[in-house]
Amino acid sequence: MSKSIDQRSVDAIRILSADAIQKANSGHPGLPLGAAPAAYTLWAKVMNHNPKNPKWENRDRFILSGGHGSMLLYSLLHLFGYGLTIEDLSNFRQLGSLTPGHPEYRHTTGVEATTGPLGAGMAMAVGMAMAEKHLAATFNREDFPVVDHYTYVLGGDGCMMEGISYEAFSLAGTLGLSKLIVLYDSNDISIEGGTNIAFRESVMKRFEAFGFQTLRVEDGTDLEAIQAAIEEAKADTTRPSMIEIKTKIGAGCPAKEGKASAHGEPLGVENVAALRQNLGWESETPFEVPADIYDNYAAIAAKKAEVEEAWNALFSAYREKYPEMAALWDQYHDESNAAFLEQDDEFWNLFDSPQATRNVSGKMINYMKDKIPNLFGGSADLAPSTKTYMNDAGDFSKETPEGRNLHFGVRELSMAAIGNGICLHGGLRPYVSTFFVFSDYVKPMARLSALMQIPLTYVLTHDSIGVGEDGPTHEPIEQLAMLRALPNFYAFRPADARETAAAWCFATNSTRIPTALILSRQNLPQLDGSGKGALKGGYILADSTKATPDALLIATGSEVQLAVEAREKLLADGIDARVVSMPCMDLFNDQPAEYKEQVLPSAVTVRVGVEALTSFGWERYIGLTGKFVGMTGFGASGPGGKLFEYFGITTDAVVAAVKEQL
């Protein structure tokens, strides 16, 4: 019996995927072969998207959480006309190609999120669904559902095993994200063999406990059953949905179907030929797809474009009827809507007395919230401590999706991924928050923020041994070095209110760089000379009277005041030092060589770095002969002030470090 055009279109995904992986001699054919029917059904029969305008605001989002199966997505993007060519597919996994090993946001048109770390895509999808729900509550009016789209995420057993998915889906159920639909490619196989060696739970029951609608498709090749399940999921307007689709890994390849070896290695030339024969594929030539299949995809894409045209007409009428909402929409979608902050004198001068920088940041958030209406964020159950709550802005919940304060619960890892998803969705300026020491839990998703070049802001408080009595488990030591090591991730550790203003000014105006604000628990004085110089990352806070200083004192955060006090003591002894505040090493490194030489003249070799954290990475500024005043091990439990004395992070220690070099 001849195959339908839909079935042959599914086979095209399989063949292209197998050919690309075989040519590269690298990749993961198992997922594309098994999940092709579900992916085709979703993209062709259900999902609203327009290849001619991949950034249409009201498109449905699709995230391939099992990013190792990237050829599934690349085949879809090629066949639907998103711009990927056959040559692109044939260059799969090659240097500089548009088809890298795992999908990369910004790199390949149509890729909504960078995926690969299993489970991350699941959590980012939750963030996208949260963004949709909030924006719909903000902008929709009767008969004008201008924000009305779904978020679909596809992943397998590995995504379900990772703890991040537990965290994220627990929150999704709590929030009633009814436009989140999870497609579970359930094939009972992982790299080491059958999943029963390590994974025997009932995933369906777990999702029921989360508060999801749960559906099951017994035959993952049954296109009608898959479509019916997705439509049933969409019909539930109170709960997110999970559809378990029973598939066979490596489906269609006789020697590999259902076997662990199908997961992460090419099928082999003979097995690709056997796949063709088994599917009844009419061409032996690699990457050759019959014209009628291309015509089918083009016809579907043309109908998808009509959906956007209808939305455009709706949105045009919305603009006419609600001009104030249209203006707000434009403000939400304007990446430069915080540009005013740099010239806002009130913002830069909110404090004149000693304050903890976490308190300073809290007041700034509440100052900005009325001027940047799409500021949207919260913490991992720590808002009273991290000072990240926006007063009178409401709480985002199932019942009140218009609220702007997010409650992530004690879920740091998924919080960061969800923040990424909110960023990726567009229209909102999100921030997330926890204690700085717990950036260890946050880091994998912060790395994705940096890799995707999205400007998520991380508010990380309790920045040093100043935490005090909570002891070494809560006192960060190596965490700032870790964040500084991340490419395209800028960590600010401000010394006072004006430097905190600089950090927020940078963060809210960033378009491609995620930012961390590393903030103190203890009060810090407002320093003479601080201010917009911090926007260069490092600057001269208190200068020597000499053209060439006798010494350079370089410090961050709460230790800048120690450097200032040390300079005064040194001056009394006839040693004329310069104090350089270095709130953001990454930003300082971006400055022209002339500026960096002006601030840190190479002729001055007597240098002291001061930071109540590890010395790792400071060599670039203090050299091999400079001294460091900071931590060499973990902290201790006791009053913060006493800990600074106990560990020798004092003004006298800075003075001694200079004199030792002289």
pLDDT category, 1, cuts 50, 70, 90? low
Q: Residue 288 pLDDT more than 90?
A: yes
Catalytic residues: 412
Quickly tell me which residue has 């203890």 as its tokens: 522
pLDDT category, 2, cuts 50, 70, 90? confident
- Name every residue whose Cβ is closer than 8 Å to that of residue 217 and which is 6 or more positions away in sequence: 38, 225, 226, 229, 243, 244, 245, 246
Query: What pLDDT is attached to residue 290?
Result: 98
For the stretch 518-561, pLDDT in tens is 999 999 999 999 999 999 999 999 999 999 999 999 999 999 99
Query: What pLDDT is attached to residue 649?
Result: 98
Give the integer Cα–Cα distance in Å for 419 and 445. 9
For the stretch 97-118, pLDDT in tens is 999 999 999 999 999 999 999 9
Q: Residue 412 pLDDT more than 80?
A: yes
> What is the mean predicted confidence (pLDDT) over 498-512?
98
Q: Return the axis-axis angle of helices 30-40 and 5-24, rounded to nearest 10°.
A: 150
For the stretch 620-629, pLDDT in tens is 999 999 999 9
Q: Residue 571 pLDDT more than 80?
A: yes
Nearest to 525 by CA among 354, 655, 320: 354
Long-range contacts of 474-477 (CB under 8 A, 24+ apart): 474/435, 474/437, 475/437, 475/634, 475/635, 475/636, 476/436, 476/437, 476/439, 476/613, 477/613, 477/614, 477/631, 477/633, 477/634, 477/635
Give the integer Cα–Cα distance in Å for 437 and 412. 11
Give the integer Cα–Cα distance in Å for 478 and 309. 53
- Name every residue whose Cβ is closer than 8 Å to that of residue 481 and which is 6 or more positions away in sequence: 613, 614, 616, 617
Task: Work out the mean pLDDT of the chain and round it to a whole number.
Answer: 98
- Name every residue whose Cβ is closer than 8 Å to that of residue 395 and which is 6 or more positions away in sequence: 403, 405, 407
Q: Residue 408 pLDDT more than 70?
A: yes
% of the chain exceeding 90 in pLDDT: 100
Give 405's DSSP letter: E
% of the chain exceeding 70 in pLDDT: 100
Task: Give 230-287 as a 3 state SS string.
Answer: HHHHHHCCCCCEEEEEECCCCCCCCCCCCCHHHCCCCCCHHHHHHHHHHHCCCCCCCC
For the stretch 205-254, pLDDT in tens is 999 999 999 999 999 999 999 999 999 999 999 999 999 999 999 999 99
Query: What pLDDT is attached to residue 596?
Result: 98
CA 119-99-253 angle, to 5 degrees, is: 75
The dihedral over CA atoms of 179, 180, 185, 189, expressed in degrees to the nearest 10, equals -160
Give the integer Cα–Cα distance in Å for 483 and 489. 7
Residue type, 567: R
Please report how many Cα atoms fall inside a 13 Å half-sphere around the Cα of residue 575, on the Cβ side: 24
Nearest to 434 by CA among 457, 405, 399, 459: 459
Plot region of 638 (φ>0 → left; ψ -120 to 50 → alpha; else → beta): left
> What is the mean predicted confidence (pLDDT) over 471-487?
98
pLDDT category, 193, cuts 50, 70, 90? very high
Tell me the backbone φ, ψ of residue 562, rounded to 5 degrees: -65, -40
Q: What is the pTM of this model?
A: 0.98
For the stretch 427-471, pLDDT in tens is 999 999 999 999 999 999 999 999 999 999 999 999 999 999 999
